[in-house]
Structure 1
Amino acid sequence: MTEVISTIPVSRLRQRLIEDMNLRHFSMETQRNYTRDVGRFATYLGRPPDTATAEDLHRFQIEQREAGVPVPTMNSIVSALRFFFTNTVDRPDLARKLVRVKSMRKLPVVLSRDEVTRLLNATTCLKHQAALSVGYGAGLRVAEISMLKVRDIDSERMLIRVERGKGGQYRNAMLSKDLLTLLRHWWKVGHQAGVMHRDGWLFPGQHYSKPISTRQLHRIVVEAARAAGIGKRVCPHTLRHSFATHLLEDGIDIRVIQVLLGHAKLENTAFYTKVATRTVRTVISPLDKLGIFTVADTAPDG
């Protein structure tokens, strides 16, 4: 009987956490991650997480580090617990005790334009090609692609409405002419097959009432990359990285790219300058401008 009673507060806290996330329009993926991470802390604690102390959080983070938990995972848990203690149980004092771990940010994998072409052409069906083309052509996150509906394609203003972006933010993404042509073709085929409806998902899953999953999109990208003979480690986010990098190399202002990507901080967008090799190659070195060294008319000695 005691065990049953002890689980009731946890269940109520879980429901309250979900309600708080829904109020802020968090994506389903974020909700799953936050629920899982708060549950992980509750398991460690052995009692309802709202009874935690600052020392509990301190020991939890130390044990995570000693257990070799990857830094991104540790920081993800910090984000979940900060939200939980700040919003769900109104204990911001505990949220301030959580420490984010600094890490060296790895350079993103970026495909060349030729590799993107090969990957898109290596997809096995029109729906897959259209979904991946949205990732590259509009720079959308994989969860954003999954949650798109047919009505989100605004052909009059040439925009894609992203209603559930990261952090529940709304924004407009670009819609190119070629991408619109492809999506119209997909709509025609999908509608005739009975899997697409005007109020339905742009990319339905196995059943038209549910969207394609992010896991399936990941598998589609990996299989297309393998079929295209691309040796790089590719995932759906690789297309978003490539979108940003190629725009930067084409001379698009970095603040415009920031808006298109939906980045809250410019520093996140500026990171792509480190992989924009075409931009580096177009810069003229100040040494060349001195004109000191010229190619000799005669062959070098030796």
Structure 2
Amino acid sequence: MTDGDSLLVSARPDVNAAMDDWLDHLGSERRLADKTLIAYERDVRQFLRFLTNHLGAPPAISDLSDLKPLDFRGFLAERRRSGAESRSLARGLSGLRSFLGFLERRGEINATAAGAVRAPRQPRSLPKPVSAGDAMTLVDAGSGLDEEPWIAARNAAVLTLLYGCGLRLSEALSLTGRTAPRKGAQTLLIRGKGGRERIVPLLPVVSEAVEAYLAACPYVPEADGPLFLGARGGPLSPRVVQYAMARMRSALGLPDSATPHALRHSFATHLLAGGGDLRTIQELLGHASLSSTQIYTQVDTARLLESYDKAHPRGRDRPPRG
């Protein structure tokens, strides 16, 4: 899994042997994917080459024990100068900490210095909502792409909950027969991340979709059992919903970003565009911090600028915004 035998000269034999043991541990016991193992080894080898230049000779395990936070910061700075982005630097530091922590657990080094280095802050990626029209089309498509009518009704009910109430997929699938949104109900009690409870308004279309699913379902959800059931009557897996969504976006020609979670993003973005205030949207989404909700203002601004560039005569003359 190395980039070539020449990489081995970046470290002494005891370090190379330790790396083999570490990678075997990650693959057999931690069961990390091959791509992750290759990336981790490449990142650690880059650090070892840096140390070879820094120390004037390939490092041994004893050299790794003498490292200071300044050594790691120097490596990150060099990688930054070579064009590495924050995400790559953070992954590289994570791989280094894993390797050095492995050596520390074997009693060979003290890995405190690596833990004292803060990972580079990564730019927060903006949520990728779908348009209101596409969201409605996806919800409607959920009731038409499956041969089994009850499965189609189930998928439509799940997607309606995500877009109509702003739920996470895990929150929708945690509903039980007792907590199912029924006809006439006006609110829904949700237990979200960290056990935090919140109350969300319930649109009639949501309870109607759930009622349609329950009427068509060949199984009867137990009061304390899952509301949404799989084809064989067991709990519905998130993967089944994600696969159904993938089929829908393929049929509708939508981008890969049109995921179940994108419907939650769409719920927040469309509320904000319609005049909803951030505090209310924070409560509806169950965010512990307002800063988590404020990212939707950036989405709305980005969409506004995009519309401006397309519509304004001078905007069409300018290069795309980076």
Superposition TM-score, scaled by structure 1 size: 0.59
Whose relative contact order is higher, 1 or 2, with alpha carbons under 8 Å and at least 6 apart? Answer: 1
Q: Does 1:99 align with 2:96?
A: no
Q: 1:173 matched to which residue of 2?
A: 200
Q: 1:158 aligns with which of 186, 206, 215?
A: 186
Give the secondary-structure state (helix, strand or coil) at the position aligned to 2:178. helix
Q: 2:153 matched to which residue of 1?
A: 126
Q: Does 1:204 align with 2:204?
A: no
Distance 1:144 1:268 in 2: 18
Contact 2:185 2:207 in 1 (8 A): no
Q: 2:87 matched to which residue of 1?
A: 71
Contact 1:110 1:242 in 2 (8 A): yes
Classify 1:69/1:222 alpha carbon distance in 2 versus 1 (closer, same or farther; 3 Å). farther
Q: Does 1:261 align with 2:288?
A: no
Deviation at 1:276, TM superposition (A): 2.2
Q: 2:50 matched to which residue of 1?
A: none
Give the secondary-structure state (helix, strand or coil) at the position aligned to 1:135. helix
- Which of the pair has more CA radius of gyration? 2
Q: 1:15 matched to which residue of 2?
A: none
Runs of 5+ consecutive residues of structure 1 not aligned to the other structure:
1-32, 42-52, 82-92, 282-302
Contact 2:131 2:266 in 1 (8 A): yes
Contact 2:176 2:222 in 1 (8 A): no
Distance 1:71 1:159 in 2: 40
Contact 2:165 2:202 in 1 (8 A): yes
Distance 1:144 1:188 in 2: 22
Classify 1:186/1:154 alpha carbon distance in 2 versus 1 (closer, same or farther; 3 Å). closer
Aligned residues: 235
Classify 1:103/1:127 alpha carbon distance in 2 versus 1 (closer, same or farther; 3 Å). same
Classify 1:118/1:255 alpha carbon distance in 2 versus 1 (closer, same or farther; 3 Å). same
Q: 1:141 matched to which residue of 2?
A: 168
Runs of 5+ consecutive residues of structure 2 not aligned to the other structure:
1-31, 41-64, 98-111, 146-151, 306-322
Deviates more, 1:126-135 or 1:149-158: 149-158
* Residues 132-154 of structure 1: CA deviation (Å, up to 9, x unaligned): 11111111112222222222235
Contact 2:168 2:261 in 1 (8 A): yes
Distance 2:67 2:188 in 1: 47
Counterpart residue identity of residue 227, structure 2: L
Deviation at 1:277, TM superposition (A): 5.8
Counterpart residue identity of residue 140, structure 2: N
Contact 1:200 1:209 in 2 (8 A): no
Q: 2:245 matched to which residue of 1?
A: 221
Classify 1:154/1:235 alpha carbon distance in 2 versus 1 (closer, same or farther; 3 Å). closer
Deviation at 1:109, TM superposition (A): 1.4
Give the secondary-structure state (helix, strand or coil) at the position aligned to 2:199. strand
Runs of 4+ in structure 1 deviating by more than 6 angstroms, as ranges, are: 53-59, 93-96
Distance 2:161 2:124 in 1: 26
Give the secondary-structure state (helix, strand or coil) at the position aligned to 2:214. helix
Contact 1:203 1:212 in 2 (8 A): no
Percent of residue pairs bearing the same amino acid type? 29
Contact 1:248 1:279 in 2 (8 A): no
* Residues 211-259 of structure 1: CA deviation (Å, up to 9, x unaligned): 322x222222221122223246211111011000011111111100000
Superposition TM-score, scaled by structure 2 size: 0.56
Classify 1:269/1:227 alpha carbon distance in 2 versus 1 (closer, same or farther; 3 Å). same
Q: 2:296 matched to which residue of 1?
A: 272
Classify 1:150/1:104 alpha carbon distance in 2 versus 1 (closer, same or farther; 3 Å). same
